[in-house]
């Protein structure tokens, strides 16, 4: 009984976690004119950073929208996958890409898919530091 009291006391006295120094990333790679058709995702990547960028990873999401959202089916056929675009992008550069993706499953129950594509991750290439004296 005392152990439960001590734990409860510590829980009450503990400070809530704090998040500090949170700033949005200044590095941006924009995705333009994205489309998914016939098992291919296509679009243009625009490097809006001051450094070269490579290995852009896209997130392709197949959101299933039920015909009746109040009574969805037992299995959600929606899914997501990542697609890597291995092309290097110079600062300010654009590149058109085309990569294969999985087709969504056949919709059932009168529902439909909404497909979204977004930039998930990328690598920035910074110049090597000059050798020290």
Stronger pLDDT, 25 or 119, i.e. the higher one: 119
HEC string of 2-47?
A: HHHHHHHHHHHHCCCCCCCCCCCCCCCEEEEEEEEECCEEEEEEEE
pLDDT value for 45? 95
Residue 67 has pLDDT above 80, yes or no: yes
CA distance 57 to 88: 12
Of the CA atoms within 13 Å of residue 90, those in its CB half-sphere come to 1
pTM > 0.85: no
pLDDT of residue 10: 37
Residue with tokens 């290439």: 125
The highest-level CATH class for domain 27-124 is mainly beta
Which two three-digit tokens encode residue 27? 């590095």
Span 108-127, pLDDT tens digits: 667 888 888 999 998 888 87
Q: Which of 10-14, 37-41, 46-50, 86-90 has the lowest mean pLDDT?
A: 10-14
Domain boundaries, the chain: 27-124
């Amino acid at each position: 009984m005392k152990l439960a009291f001590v734990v409860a006391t510590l829980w009450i006295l503990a400070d809530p976690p704090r998040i500090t120094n949170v700033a949005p990333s200044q590095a941006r790679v924009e995705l333009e004119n994205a489309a998914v058709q016939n098992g291919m995702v296509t679009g243009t990547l625009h490097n809006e950073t001051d450094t070269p960028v490579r290995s852009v990873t896209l997130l392709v999401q197949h959101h299933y929208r039920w015909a009746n959202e109040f009574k969805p089916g037992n299995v959600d056929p929606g899914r997501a996958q990542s697609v890597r675009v291995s092309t290097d992008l110079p600062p300010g550069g654009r590149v058109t890409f085309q990569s294969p993706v999985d087709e969504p499953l056949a919709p059932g129950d009168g529902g439909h898919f909404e497909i979204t594509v977004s930039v998930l991750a990328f690598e920035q290439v910074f110049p090597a530091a000059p050798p020290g004296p």
